[in-house]
Amino acid sequence: MNQGEFTGKLGKKIQETYSDRPGIQVFYDHLSPKDSYTCAPTPHWGELHNDTSLSEVDIAILQDGQVRILCEVEENALNPKEFLGDVYNLFLAEHISIKCETFNKDLPLEDYFFILAVRVPEKGNIQEKYGQLETRLRSIVRDTHLHNKKLIFIYDSDLDGLKEKVLEKIEELLPEMPAP
């Protein structure tokens, strides 16, 4: 499987699962640009330019036109710098642009869930390192102006297991999401 293909298929599965729910839109990266839901959701601050964003996210779920869930899926274990880059990109962001339309423009991009799903090796200390980073990040978020950021970390050594955990978490979160 090509890099990103699993993530694109996961995004498509989420989109198909929720396509009949009123007000829910799902966009995702890593599949054919011919697919109308394929795009590169881009968190940014200020106006959208290359210099106002660090990276794109893999999946964006909107409810009634407001961003409610962002999901980054790492198919292979990251080094800690990349892991932190994914998280801090969201800390810096004020808005998200999807297919050149900016969402949450009049509402700060803060009251949403951010799922970071990482495939980790079965053996080794990387899981412990991610656990330590997660603990530290949670304390930073709790004790600062970032307290509205709702971080969810999901780890699994198997892609199918990672997919199931992400799908379960999204199903758990969607009924909880208040209307904007």
Please state the domain extents for the chain. Answer: 5-176
Cα R_g (the chain), whole angstroms: 15
Adjacent-strand bridge partners of 117 = 73, 154
116 touches 102 (CB < 8 A): no
pLDDT digits 0-9 by tens, 30-80: 877 777 677 888 888 888 888 888 888 889 998 888 888 999 898 887 677
- Asked if pLDDT for residue 180 goes beyond 70, the answer is no
Amino acid at 172: E
Name residue 27's amino acid: F
The residue with tokens 């293909």 is 5
pTM to 2 decimal places: 0.85
| Fold topology of 5-176 | Trna Endonuclease; Chain: A, domain 1 (3.40.1350)
